[in-house]
Amino acid sequence: MSSKLIDAKNLKKSFGEFIAVDDIDLSVLRGEVVGFLGPNGAGKSTTMKMLTGFLEPDSGSIMINNVDLKSNPLQAKEFIGYLPEGAPSYSDMNVLEFLSFVGKMRGLSKKILTNRLDEMAIQISLKEVWNKPIETLSKGFKRRVGIAQALIHDPDILILDEPTDGLDPNQKHEMRNLIKTISKNKAIVISTHILEEVEAVCSRAMIIADGKLLANETPANLEKQFANKDIISIKVFNRINAVLAKNLKSSIHYGDVKIEKLDKDTNRILVSDDKKTPELNAVLKQVNKFKLNIIEASFVKSNLEEIFRKITTTNVSS
Amino acid sequence: MKTYLEKTYIIFDRELKGYFRTPLASIFLLVFLALSSGMTFFLGRFFERDQADLTAFFAWHPWLFLILMPAIGMRLWAEERRSGTIELLITLPVTNMQLVIGKFLASWIFTLIALILTMPIWVTVNYLGDPDNNVILISYIGSWLMAGAFLALTSCLSALTKNQVIAFIISSISGFVLIMAGFNLVLSSVRSWTPTWVTETIGSMSFLSHFSRIQMGVFDLRTLIFFVSMIILCVWINVQLVQIKKAD
C-alpha cells in the first residue's frame, strides 16, 4: 500500500496528430498541494481530465488511493472532487438544488448531506445566494459553487482546474486561503498560469509545456535551481549619452553592465556578474563619481515568473 | 443494484424537474394540447365524422411528434456538451448507461404527462357517444411507445452536437424518414428495383405502419417489439456516442 493518493505513470494522450500529454508521471501525497503550471495548451487540463476519469489515457496507469482508475472507475471516482475548467454548473438550478444533486449522486445519506450542505454554506460563504438560480450569480459566486460541488462529499483528492480564473483580487485571495485550510488532510492538484498562486499555496510546482513535464520541485527549490544570479538595478534621473555610458561601463568592475533607457530623463543601470554577487556599496561609489541623481538602488531577485519563462522557453525550443 | 437504480433515478429526477424550472414545460404542454386538439377538431373533422372514436385525434400524433419530440429531446446531451456540465456528470461515480437511461426516461415521462393532459378528449367522446375504450387505451399506449422511440432517437442524435438547433433539425429529418418509410409512394419507388425483402424491411421500419395498426386497436407483439427494440437500440448507440463525443 502506498501513501500516494494519486499515482499516475507514463500518461500519454494524443488527439489525432496532436500529442497533448507526452509521458507524464505524477504522484501526490496526502497534505500536498501540487501546482500544475504551464502555458495555455500545455496539457494541464488534459492531464486533469485523465486523472478524474473524464478522458481515458492512450497509455499509462492511474491509481487513485490505490484503486486502478481504469479497471475500477466507479470506486476510484468516489475519492475525487473535481472542478472542471470554467466551473460548469446547471444554471437553471439554484445553489441548494445543485449541491444537493451532486451530493446525492455522490451517495451521501440524507443526514450527512444536510450537514455537508450547512458546512459548505459557511465554509465557502454561499449563504447569501443559497436559494438563487445559478445563472443569476456573479462569476465569483459561480466559481465558489463549483468548488462547493467538488467538496460536497469531503473527498480525499481535489482536482481544481484554474480555480481562481476570472476572480477579482479579493476573491483570489479568499480562494487561496480556502485551498490552504482544506489542504491539510487532502491531496490537491490545482492548475494555473498565475505564478504567484503557486508561490502562495503550493507545496510543489510541476511545470509542463508541450505535454512534457519540465520541472517538479518545491517553489523554493525551483528558485534555487533556476534563479538568475543577483542583479543590481540603479535608477538615475539623468540623460546618459554614449560617452557617459562607455565611461560608466569601464569604471564599474563587474562582468556585465547594461544601461536601459526608461524614459527621456531616466535610465537604469543593471550590474551583474556570473562569478560573484556584485556589492551594492562598491557599485554605488563608482556611480556617484559621475554625479548622477540616483533615485533608486536595489537587488533584483528573479521571481518564479522569470524562472517559469526560462524553463518553458528554453526547454521547448531545444 | 439498489444504488444503480437510485443514481439513475436522481438523474431522471433532475432532468424531469429541469423541464419545469423554465417556461419550456408549460409552453410545450400548451402547444401540444393546442395542436393536438386543433388538428383533431379542424383538420380531423372530429364532429363532421359523426363517430364516437378518437381516430381523428391519434391520426395526427406521428406528425405532431415529428416536431415536438425533437423539441423535448434536443437539449438532453447537446446542452450538457455546450455548457461543459458533461464533465461533471461523467466524473461522478455513475456509468454512461445510467446517465443516458435517466435522461431518456425523464423526457419520456414528460411526454406521458402531456398525453395524460389530453384525456379530456377521451372523456368528451364518452360523453358524446359510446366509443370502444379498449381501442382508445391501446392507442394511448401505442402513442406513448412511439413517442419513446422518437425521443430515444432524438436523445441519441443530440449527443452528436453542442447545438440544440442542429440536434432538433437532424432529429426531425431522421424521424421524417422513419415515418415516410411506410408510405406507398416511398415503397413503390423502391419496390421496382430491390428484392421484396428489402421493401418489406423498409416498410416494417416505419413508425406510421406500426402506429396505424395500433390505432385500429390491433396491438400485436411485433409492434411492441419494434418500438421497444428501437428504444433499446437508440439508447445503446446514445451511450456509445456520449463516450466518443464527450471530449470534443
Collect contacts of A239-243 with beta carbons under 8 A, ≥24 apart.
A239/A264, A239/A265, A239/A267, A240/A267
| The pLDDT of residue A228 | 59
Q: Is B126 on the interface with A (CB under 8 A)?
A: no
Q: Is B246 on the interface with A (CB under 8 A)?
A: yes
- pLDDT tens digit sequence for A186-227: 999 999 877 778 888 899 999 888 888 888 888 878 777 766
Out of A179, A211, A226, a domain closes at A226
With beta carbons under 8 A apart, name residues in chain B contacting A85. Answer: 84
* One domain, residues A274 and A156: no
Out of A192, A226, A260, a domain closes at A226
Q: Kindly report the average pLDDT of chain A as a whole number.
A: 87
Cβ distance B246 to A54 under 8 Å?
Answer: yes
- Please indicate whether residue A188 or residue B189 has the higher confidence score (pLDDT): A188
Mutating which of A52, A72, A92 best tests the B interface, going by the most B Cβ atoms within 10 A? A92
How would you classify the pairing of strands A4-15 and A80-83? unpaired
* One domain, residues A135 and A254: no
Query: How far is A74 from chain B, CA to nearest CA, in Å?
Result: 5
Cβ distance A53 to A69 under 8 Å?
Answer: yes
- Contact residues, B window 61-90, toward A, CB-based 8 Å cutoff: 83-85, 87-88, 90
Burial of A12 (C-beta count, 10 Å sphere; 0-12/13-18/19+): middle
Q: Give the domain extent around A239.
A: 231-301
H helices within chain A, ranges in order? Answer: 44-51, 73-77, 95-105, 110-123, 139-151, 169-182, 195-201, 219-226, 242-251, 280-289, 304-317
Tell me the pTM: 0.84
Query: Which of the listed ranges A23-27, A166-170, B105-109 does the model predict with the highest average pLDDT?
Result: B105-109
Q: How far apart are the first and last CA of chain B?
A: 32
pLDDT above 90 (res B243): yes
Query: How far is A173 from chain B, CA to nearest CA, in Å?
Result: 25
Q: Give the domain extent around B92.
A: 2-245
- Percent of the residues in chain A that have a pLDDT greater than 70, as a whole number: 94
| The pLDDT of residue A79 | 95
Query: How far is A88 from chain B, CA to nearest CA, in Å?
Result: 5
Determine, yes or no, domain membership for A312.
no
Determine, yes or no, domain membership for A106.
yes
- pLDDT tens digit sequence for A219-229: 878 777 766 55
* One domain, residues A236 and A179: no
CB contact under 8 A, B21 and A74: no
Determine, yes or no, domain membership for A311.
no
B3 → chain A, closest CA residue:
A107
Query: How many angstroms separate the CA atoms of B198 and B85, rounded?
Result: 43
Query: How many angstroms separate the CA atoms of A236 and A288, rounded?
Result: 11
With beta carbons under 8 A apart, name residues in chain A contacting B7. Answer: 105, 107
**Per-residue pLDDT averaged across B147-157, rounded?**
96
Mutating which of B11, B13, B88 best tests the A interface, going by the most A Cβ atoms within 10 A? B88
DSSP letters for A96-124: HHHHHHHHHHTT--HHHHHHHHHHHHHHT
- pLDDT tens digit sequence for A55-93: 999 999 999 999 999 999 999 999 999 999 999 999 999
* One domain, residues A243 and A130: no
Categorize the per-residue pLDDT at A302 as very low, low, confident or very high, splitting at 50, 70 and 90: low
- pLDDT tens digit sequence for A247-261: 888 888 887 888 888
H helices within A1-71, ranges in order? Answer: 44-51
Q: Is B243 on the interface with A (CB under 8 A)?
A: no
Determine, yes or no, domain membership for A199.
yes
Cβ distance A132 to A124 under 8 Å?
Answer: no
* One domain, residues A210 and A236: no
Q: Kindly report the average pLDDT of chain B as a whole number.
A: 89
Cβ distance A6 to A64 under 8 Å?
Answer: yes
| The pLDDT of residue A219 | 80
The cell for A33 is 498541494
* One domain, residues A237 and A220: no
Determine, yes or no, domain membership for A306.
no
What is the tally of structural domains in chain A? 2
Q: Is B141 on the interface with A (CB under 8 A)?
A: no
| The pLDDT of residue B212 | 81
Query: How many angstroms separate the CA atoms of A202 and B32, rounded?
Result: 56
We report the CATH number of the domain holding residue A67 as 3.40.50.300
Query: How many angstroms separate the CA atoms of A93 and A130, rounded?
Result: 11
Determine, yes or no, domain membership for A72.
yes
Backbone angles phi, psi at B128, to 5 degrees: -80, -30
Determine, yes or no, domain membership for A318.
no
* One domain, residues A184 and A258: no
Distances (CA, A) of A230 to A226, A234, A258, A286: 12, 13, 14, 19
Categorize the per-residue pLDDT at A303 as very low, low, confident or very high, splitting at 50, 70 and 90: low
* One domain, residues A133 and A59: yes
With beta carbons under 8 A apart, name residues in chain B contacting A54. Answer: 87, 90-91, 246-247
DSSP letters for B143-191: HHHHHHHHHHHHHHHHTT-S-HHHHHHHHHHHHHHHHHTT-HHHHHHHH
Query: How many angstroms separate the CA atoms of B69 and B215, rounded?
Result: 20
Task: Single out the residue of B167, B225, B179, B231 nearest to residue B206, CA to CA.
Answer: B179
Map grid coordinates 534621473 to a residue. Answer: A237
| The pLDDT of residue A229 | 57
Query: How far is B108 from chain A, CA to nearest CA, in Å?
Result: 20
Residues of A with CB under 8 A from a CB of B: 49, 52-55, 73-75, 77-78, 80, 82, 84-86, 88-93, 101-102, 104-107, 149
CA A276 to chain centroid: 32
- Which amino acid is located at A161 in the chain? D
Cβ distance B130 to B143 under 8 Å?
Answer: no
CB contact under 8 A, A90 and B18: yes
CB contact under 8 A, A89 and B10: no
* One domain, residues A147 and A214: yes
Burial of A257 (C-beta count, 10 Å sphere; 0-12/13-18/19+): buried
CB contact under 8 A, A105 and B21: no
- Which amino acid is located at B6 in the chain? E
Map grid coordinates 394540447 to a residue. Answer: B33
* One domain, residues A245 and A221: no
Categorize the per-residue pLDDT at A317 as very low, low, confident or very high, splitting at 50, 70 and 90: very low
We report the CATH number of the domain holding residue A289 as 3.30.70
Out of A184, A208, A226, a domain closes at A226
What is the tally of structural domains in chain B? 1
- pLDDT tens digit sequence for B42-83: 777 777 776 777 888 888 899 999 999 999 999 999 999 999
Q: Is B5 on the interface with A (CB under 8 A)?
A: no
| The pLDDT of residue A318 | 38
* One domain, residues A63 and A178: yes
Determine, yes or no, domain membership for A210.
yes
Categorize the per-residue pLDDT at B173 as very low, low, confident or very high, splitting at 50, 70 and 90: very high
Task: Single out the residue of A172, A122, A111, A193 nearest to residue A151, CA to CA.
Answer: A122
* One domain, residues A263 and A141: no
Categorize the per-residue pLDDT at A241 as very low, low, confident or very high, splitting at 50, 70 and 90: confident
